[in-house]
Structure formats: C-alpha cells, structure tokens
Amino acid sequence: MSDSEDVIIEDSDCDEGPLLAINKGEGSTRRGGGSGGFLTSVFTVFNSTVGTGILTLPYSFRMAGAVLGMSLLLVYSAVMACSAYAVVRVADKTNCKSFQQIVRKLLGPRAGIAMSVTIAFYCYLVCVGCLVIVADVAGPLVHHFAGDDSGSGSGDEWYENRRLAIVVGAVLALPPMCLRDFTSLAFTAFLSFAAVVFVVVVVIDKGHNMTTGSPPDFAPEMSPNEAEGSVEWSVAEGYKALFAIPNIALSLQCHIQSPGIYAEVSASSRSTSFFKKVLMSSYALCVILYSSCAFFGYVTFRDHTPANIMQAGYDKGDPMIIVARFCLLVTAICALPINHHPCRAALRDLLVKKEEVVDDGSDDDGDKGRKSLLSSSLASIVSDEAGMLPVDRFFVAEIAIVWVTMTAIAMEVPNLAVLNDIIGFTAGVSVMFIFPGLFLLAIDPFHDNYLATYPTLYRGVGYFFVVFGVTTGIIAAFSFFASIF
C-alpha cells in the first residue's frame, strides 16, 4: 500500500455545462486547468503512488518466490494503470475533478455516501499503519542509542516497549492533526517521498553487497542462517503466493488522486492520450523501483524476510541503516496527519450540516444544500437538534475519537502485512478496481465517442475490473484470516 500518500478529497459538484472539446489527440479538455507538464505530472503520479507500502514488497517476494512475485508485480501494475486510466478518462468526459465527484455524478448520492465511508475507512487504516511503522522502526533505534549490548531491541527494556513507541508517535502527530488547512501539511509530501526513496536505496545497496559476495552488515545477534539459504524462485506451496497479492496491489494505488492531478495539467496539453503516457511512465518507474527493492531485500534475508524490511536484522549501528530508520520514522509521523485530513473531510461530508461548513482548508466547496443520508441513523449518537453535528463540535469530537481509537488499534496490529490484508479486502479493492469498473458500466455513451463506437469493449473492461477487484478482495480476506488463525 501506498500508505503515506496524500489523498485529497474535493467535494464540489461536477460542472454540468457542455464539454469543451478540442481537436488535439484523444479526449477532450475541461475549462481552466493548471500549469502541469509531462514531467511534472509523471512525478506527481509517481509520488502519489510510492509510499511506505513498498517496505512490504520483499516479504511479498518471500511468499511468492522471486519469479512469481515479479510476475504478480507486473500484472497488477498493468491492471492498476488501466483502471487509473479509466478513472481519468471518465473524469475527463464528465467534467469532474475528483474521485468523489465522479461517484456522485455517475452512481448517485447513495454511492457518494458509500464512497465517503470508503475513503474515511481507507485513510483511517493508513493512519493506523503509520503508527505500526513507528513501532517497527523505533525499537531498533531506541536500542542502539539507549540500550545495552545484551538487549535485543525487541521490547526487553521498558523504553523499548512497542506500545510506548506507538503512544509517543501518536502524541507527536497530534498537533499537525489539529490543523484545519491542508496546505500547511504540503511540505511533508516531498520529505516523505525522499525518505522512502532513500530507504529503498539502502535496501538495494545491502542486497547488492550480498549478491556480489561483500560481507553484509548484520546485527551481531542475528543468526548466520538468516543470511544464508537458497533464494526461492518459485513456491512449492502455491497458496503462499496469495499472501503477496494484497501488499503488491496496495503499493500501487494512485486512483483517488488521479482526477485531481489530471485537472492540473495545462490546458494546452491536457487530453486522455497525454495522461495515458503519464500513467505508463509513472508505473514503469514504480516497477523498476519496486522490483529492485523487493528483490534485493528478499535475497538479503531470504526465509527470514520480515513483513517490514526495516525490521530486518540489519546492523543497528550501521550509519546508513540508522539514517534510513530515522527517515522512515519521520515519514510515518508526517504522513499520519496528511492521511488524517481526507479522513476528516470524508467524515465531515457524512455528518456535518453543509450550511454550517466553513473553509478549513479542504476542497469541499459546494453541495451546501445536500443532507447526509446517514444523519437520521447517527442522530441519537452524535447529533444536535437537526440530526447532524455542527462544525466546531464535529472537529473536536473527530480528533479525539480518531486519535484514541487509531492508537489503540495500532497496539493490536502485529505488522503491516496484516493491516494491508484488512485494507485489501475492504476499501482498497473498492477504490482500485470496483468503482473504476462501475464508472465504465454507468457512463452515458453520449459522453464518449469511443464508448459509443465500442460499447461492448467498455462494458467488458468494466466487468473485468469489478470481477478482478472482488477476486483480489477475497484473496486478501483469505490471507488475513490465514495469518491470524
């Protein structure tokens, strides 16, 4: 999963006016736009896709084997690129600038409510994942700087306790979680991206040393067997490959962000054929980065590759490992408020009176008269006289409830792989496959000449995305229950 990626929710209605067509390439352009060019768009999509989910890919290769793991990465990259392109194409044809807008326009208000719930749940679990990462990397760092040579860095001392690390990380993330303006958090996006890339470079470097015969820097207490054994190119027990699929799929998500990125492309360049090249280039870069990290992380630790590669038995005193873990720690703490912001926006969309919404930095600027379909059922729990929360009361209650519950849940989640399984069979497959498929099935042929010419192809691709998503969700559910029983 792209766990630290910025998920931006725009809540205004779609432009219902006529489409502004131009005779430039395939597709049509909308009024306005930004100044984004090809390289800027490629980097933005790449940055939106790459997150801390990449840390689970070496474990995926351990489960599936190197060849099958690489095959799964290629297949899911191709399908994800196609489904992201479907989202952008539908956004272009319907004049929508966000994922939620497309859902409301094509699937109706009830589906819009379902989409808000999906995004809130997805971003909430990503926030939990940030705290899990804090716990994973804080132990070795604390042990190195405060422990003694006899400790293992796995909770032997009170200051190495996993729950303490989670609480400290949550406390550090609380002040930026209280910011109302999303732009105040924008500086963390590039920091998170650079930190993740540095971690990947370190993993590749250590793995390269192993493959070239250079002595690796492993922790003194690590068993020599952890650096030995054969690399599994295939898996004798085929069902193990299923455990790799949720991690691979969730590390490739950029669908929620794609309509907004497309809307920022300059008017002179913006077309669906242009953005198809952007997506192809971005996913090609992802495959190169992901496959390198996954392969070299796996060949370094082989049968002992953990769910988070930064939990592996690297030498705790290695300067590069220390810097990498510190970068990952900062990234996770910074990513938590970034992902909390769209979670709050989605919950507000469900619970807050639209006529009372004030500008708090989000992109929710319209649809003021729409009432939440959930208001009546939630009235007895969180409502005022009208059955919905006013803004100020909602803001305080949401911060308190989300902060406490995500901290408590993070304490019970053993590793990122388990969390990815939960996201995979719930919100993840909905965003990546099911909703894009439903878009293609729901769009009016009038909006797309290509659809009018090849309606069977469109519907076939739409059904494929839905079936592919349901299948991936079932696999993720199987992986989750198999890991806990």
Token pair 């006013």 is found at 390
The whole-model pTM stands at 0.78
Q: Which range has the top average pLDDT, 47-51, 93-97, 377-381, 467-471?
A: 467-471
pLDDT (mean) for 342-352: 83
Residue 160 pLDDT class (50, 70, 90 cuts): confident
> Which is it for the CA torsion 335, 338, 342, 347, positive or negative?
positive
- d(CA 269, CA 27) in angstroms, rounded, equals 11
Helices (H), 302-431: 319-351, 375-382, 391-412, 416-423, 429
The total number of residues written for the chain in this structure: 485
Position 461, amino acid: V
Cβ neighbours of residue 362 closer than 8 Å, sequence gap 6 or more:
9, 11, 182, 341, 345, 348
Torsion of Cα atoms, 29 then 30 then 34 then 38, to 10° = -20
| 84, 2 contact by CB (below 8 A) | no
Predicted local distance difference test score (pLDDT) of residue 34: 64
467 token code pair: 């079936």
Q: What are phi and psi of 265, to 5 degrees?
A: -70, 140
pLDDT tens-digit map of 389-431: 556 788 889 999 999 999 999 999 888 888 888 888 888 999 9
Ramachandran quadrant class, 274 (left: phi over 0; alpha: psi -120 to 50; beta: rest): alpha
Residue 46 has pLDDT above 50, yes or no: yes
3-state secondary structure of 87: helix
Q: Which range has the top average pLDDT, 238-242, 273-277, 377-381?
A: 273-277
pLDDT (mean) for 8-36: 44
Eight-state DSSP code of residue 434: I
Question: What's the chain's average pLDDT?
Answer: 78
Predicted local distance difference test score (pLDDT) of residue 418: 84
